[in-house]
Amino acid sequence: MKMMKISMLLLWILVLASCSGDFERETDNISSRMGQVTFLFGLQEDDAFIVQTRSGSQEQIARMWYAVADKEGKIIKPLYQKLENDFSKLTIEGLQQGDYTLVFLATTSVEEEAGEVIKEPTYLSDDWLMNLTEKAPLDAVYFYKKIELQIGREQAPVSQLVTLERCVGRVDVDLKLSSDYMWRFIRKIDITFDDSEGIYATLGVNGQYSGSKGVEAYDITGKCSFYSLPGHKPLSGFVSIESECSDGRRFERKYRFTGCNIEAGRVSHISIDYLHPENQDGFFCVREEDFVRFRTDTMFLADEPRDVFYNSGRRSFYANAPLQMSISNEHELLVKFFSPVGIQDVTVLCRFNKVSTEFFELAHFDQIYPFMEASFPLPVVDSERTFTTSNGRKVVVPAQHELANDDVTLVFRTDDPFMKKMEQIDSHWFIRFSAYSADAGHAYWRHMNPLLCRHGVALALNMAFMFSSEEFNAEMNNYEGRLKDNGGNPINLDALRQRIRNHGGLVLGCVSGVGGLGGGNTYGLAGYCYTGVYFDATPPDAHPHNYPRQAMFHEYGHCLGYSHSSTMTYGDQWTVLCATVFVNMGKEGKLPVCSKNIVGELPM
C-alpha cells in the first residue's frame, strides 16, 4: 500500500510537471504571435482641394471607418482596437502571424450626408460606401486607403503613417461674369448630365468602384461646385441658371458643356460665359453675402499695429462725416466707416468730372458694418459702362483705366437713423490719434491701443452730436451768466456755441497717472475715462458727474482755450452741465453710441 501511494505521488508530480510545461509553451506561443501596430493618419495634401480658414487650419477628419481582412479576404475582429477620438491614431493588438489587408474610409463631413450608406463589411469584396440619393452626386469629401500588412513570428510593435487619399472628384462650375457684382442677379444654379448612368454609385471595401447613376437638376446655388464619386467616361450636359433683372423680371438660360472628366482626387472645370441683359451696367450692388468676394477688413482690430492707427492718412475722419468714400490708387472704390454702429441701405452717386455734369448711380450697399474698411473694383475701369442718371436717362461712360480720386465727385444718400444723426452735427472736427510723448519717457503720456481708439471714435461722435443738439443748447441757456472765462467774466453763450462749431478737432491720446491732458487739439484721457463715460458705465441712480465724464469735458474746456481759473474746467458748472445732458441723452437713446456694450461687444 505504501509503495502504491509513493507510485501515485510520483505519477501525480509527473502529470503536474507535464501540465506546467504545456501551459508555459502555450503562453510563449501566443506571446510570440501577438502583433501590435499603430497607424497615424494624415490627409492627402492637394492644392486643388485644400481648404484653409483665415487662421490657416486645414481639413480635419470628422468621421472614420476601418476594417481588417485576413489573407482570404474575410473581415476579422482583432483582440484590441482603439481609435482616438480625434481620428489621429488607431492602435490594433492581437494580430497573429500572417498577412493582412487594412482599409480605411474617412470624411470631413460632420453630419451624415443625404443618401450616404456605410455598410458593415464581411469580405473585402463587399460594397462599403454607397450613394443611394436619386439623380444626385455624393456631395462630400471622402478619403480612402488600402494597405497590406505582414506580421512575423517575432514581430515588434509597428508604427506606420497612413495618408488617406481622396476617393471623390470635384466639379467646379466657373462662371465668367462681366463683374463680380453680377452675382446679385443669380437666383438658382443647377446641373444635369446627359448620361443617366454616368457616375459610379458605390465604393467597395477593396477600393473598386461599381454601380452607376446620373445627375439631374442638382442644385449648386452659392457654391458652384460639388463632389462626386468618379465618372465612367467624359460627361456632357447643361448648367441651368435662373436670374433676375433689376426690375424684378426673372429668366432662365441653359448652358451646354462637354468633356467633363470626374476623377478621384482631381478637379474638373466647366466654364460658362454668363449672359445677362445688364452685363454692361456700371452700377453695382453689394449684399451682405457678397463681402467675402472683395477686399474687406475691419479697422482697429486687436492686432492692428500702432503705425497704422497713428497714421492720420489711414485713420482719421471728420466727426460729422464718419463714412468716407474715395477712389484708391488701385482705381477702386475705397470705403471706410469710423463708427461702432453699422448702417443699412446706402446708395453712392458719382459724377465723372471729365465726362458729365450729372450724377450717376454708382453703387448700393445693403449694409456697411462697424469700422469697415473695404475696396470694391469699379466695372467702368476695365470697359465702357452704361449708367443711369437721377432722371432715368442712360449714359454710356467710356472705360476709365486711370481713374483717380480727382476725376470723380462722390456723394451718398441713406435714410439710416445713425447717418441722420450725423447730419445734425454742425461742427467739422477733424479726429485722429497720436502717441504724443509715450516713447520719450513722459510722466503721463502712454500709448493708445485699438480698443481705446474705438472708444475714442465713439466719444468724439457722441460729444460732437451732443454739442449740436437742442437738448444741450436748451440746458446751456439755464447756465447764462454762470459760465465764466479765465478772467471771471460771463461767457457769451452764442459766442461759445460758435467756438465749439469752429473748433478744429481732436488728436486723441492716452494718459496714465492723471485723468486727462488737453489744450487746443491735444486731447488725452486715461483708459478708464474712455470706457467710463457712457451712461451705463455707472449705476442708474448715480450722479452723472462721475470722474471720467468730468475729465472728458474738463479737457475739452482746455481745448476751447479755458484755464483752471475759469468755470469751464473745475467747479460745478460746465462739466456738470455737459455730464448731465450726456447721461440723459444716453439713457434716452439719443446719442449716436449710447451704451458701452456697443463698442465692447464688437469682434476684436
Please report the pLDDT score of residue 410 as a whole number. 96
Answer whether residue 9 shows pLDDT above 60: no
Answer whether residue 539 shows pLDDT above 90: yes
The percent of residues above 70 in pLDDT, for the chain, comes to 92
Answer whether residue 131 shows pLDDT above 70: yes
Please report the pLDDT score of residue 17 as a whole number. 33
Q: Of 20-29, 132-141, 593-602, which gets the smallest average pLDDT?
A: 20-29
Model pLDDT for residues 210-261, shown as the tens digit of each residue:
999 999 999 999 899 999 999 999 999 999 999 999 889 999 999 999 999 9
Instruction: Report which residue type is found at 191.
Output: I
Please report the pLDDT score of residue 46 as a whole number. 61
Answer whether residue 20 shows pLDDT above 80: no
- CA–CA separation, 589 and 341 (whole Å): 13
Q: 142 in helix, strand or coil?
A: strand
Q: 11 in helix, strand or coil?
A: helix
Q: Of 1-10, 330-339, 454-463, 553-562, which gets the smallest average pLDDT?
A: 1-10
CATH among 1.25.40, 2.60.40, 3.30.70, 2.60.120 for 169-273: 2.60.40
Instruction: Report which residue type is found at 369.
Output: Y
Instruction: Report which residue type is found at 550.
Output: Q
Average pLDDT over residues 526-546: 95
Please report the pLDDT score of residue 325 as a whole number. 97
Look at 114 and 145; give whichever has higher pLDDT. 145
Q: Please answer whether residues 295 and 375 qualify as being in contact, where contact means their C-beta atoms are separated by less than 8 angstroms.
A: yes
- CA–CA separation, 109 and 101 (whole Å): 26
Q: Could you tell me which of 384, 291, 395 has the C-alpha nearest to residue 335? A: 291
Please report the pLDDT score of residue 215 as a whole number. 96
Q: 458 in helix, strand or coil?
A: helix
Report residue 96's pLDDT band, with 50, 70 and 90 as the boundaries. confident
- CA–CA separation, 115 and 493 (whole Å): 77
Answer whether residue 51 shows pLDDT above 50: no
Parallel, antiparallel or unpaired: strands 360-368 and 394-397: unpaired
Contacts of 475 (CB under 8 A, 6+ apart): 577, 580, 581
Report residue 3's pLDDT band, with 50, 70 and 90 as the boundaries. very low
Average pLDDT, the chain: 90
Model pLDDT for residues 351-388, shown as the tens digit of each residue:
999 888 899 999 999 999 999 999 999 999 999 999 99
Answer whether residue 15 shows pLDDT above 50: no
The grid cell for 308 is 497704422
Q: Of 37-51, 264-278, 327-341, which gets the smallest average pLDDT?
A: 37-51
The percent of residues above 90 in pLDDT, for the chain, comes to 82
Model pLDDT for residues 479-501, shown as the tens digit of each residue:
999 999 999 999 999 999 999 99
Model pLDDT for residues 121-130, shown as the tens digit of each residue:
999 999 999 9
Please report the pLDDT score of residue 11 as a whole number. 37
Cα(first)–Cα(last) distance of the chain, in Å? 98
Look at 5 and 450; give whichever has higher pLDDT. 450
The grid cell for 428 is 467739422
Q: Please answer whether residues 229 and 138 qualify as being in contact, where contact means their C-beta atoms are separated by less than 8 angstroms.
A: yes
Average pLDDT over residues 405-418: 96
Helices 470-477 and 450-468: crossing angle in degrees, nearest 10, is 60
Class of domain 33-166: mainly beta
- CA–CA separation, 407 and 395 (whole Å): 17
Parallel, antiparallel or unpaired: strands 209-210 and 267-273: unpaired
Q: Which residues pair with 57 in a beta bridge?
A: none
Average pLDDT over residues 81-92: 92
Please report the pLDDT score of residue 34 as a whole number. 61
Boundaries of every domain in the chain: 33-166, 169-273, 285-304+318-423, 431-600
Q: Which long-range contacts (CB under 8 A, 24 or more apart) does 52-61 make?
A: 59/108, 59/141, 60/86, 60/108, 61/86, 61/87, 61/88, 61/106, 61/107, 61/108, 61/143, 61/164
Report residue 79's pLDDT band, with 50, 70 and 90 as the boundaries. confident
Average pLDDT over residues 493-512: 96
> What count of other Cβ atoms lies within 10 Å of the Cβ of residue 205?
25
3-state secondary structure string, 556-597?
Answer: HHHHCCCCCCCCCCCCCCHHHHHHHHHHHHHHCCCCCCCCHH
- What phi, psi does 236 have (nearest 5°)? -125, 170
Answer whether residue 33 shows pLDDT above 80: no
Answer whether residue 22 shows pLDDT above 80: no
- CA–CA separation, 74 and 377 (whole Å): 61
What pTM does this model have? 0.76
33-166 shares its CATH topology with 169-273: yes
- CA–CA separation, 535 and 583 (whole Å): 5
Answer whether residue 6 shows pLDDT above 70: no
Report residue 58's pLDDT band, with 50, 70 and 90 as the boundaries. low
Question: What is the DSSP code string of 185-221?
Answer: GEEEEEEEES-TT-B--EEETTS-EE--B---SEE-T
Q: 384 in helix, strand or coil?
A: coil
- CA–CA separation, 172 and 224 (whole Å): 6
The grid cell for 16 is 503536474
Model pLDDT for residues 543-575, shown as the tens digit of each residue:
999 999 999 999 999 999 999 999 999 989 999
Question: What is the DSSP code string of 145-171?
Answer: EEEEEEE-TTPPPEEEEEEEEE-SEEE
Look at 57 and 479; give whichever has higher pLDDT. 479
Q: Could you tell me which of 579, 526, 581, 585 has the C-alpha nearest to residue 557? A: 579
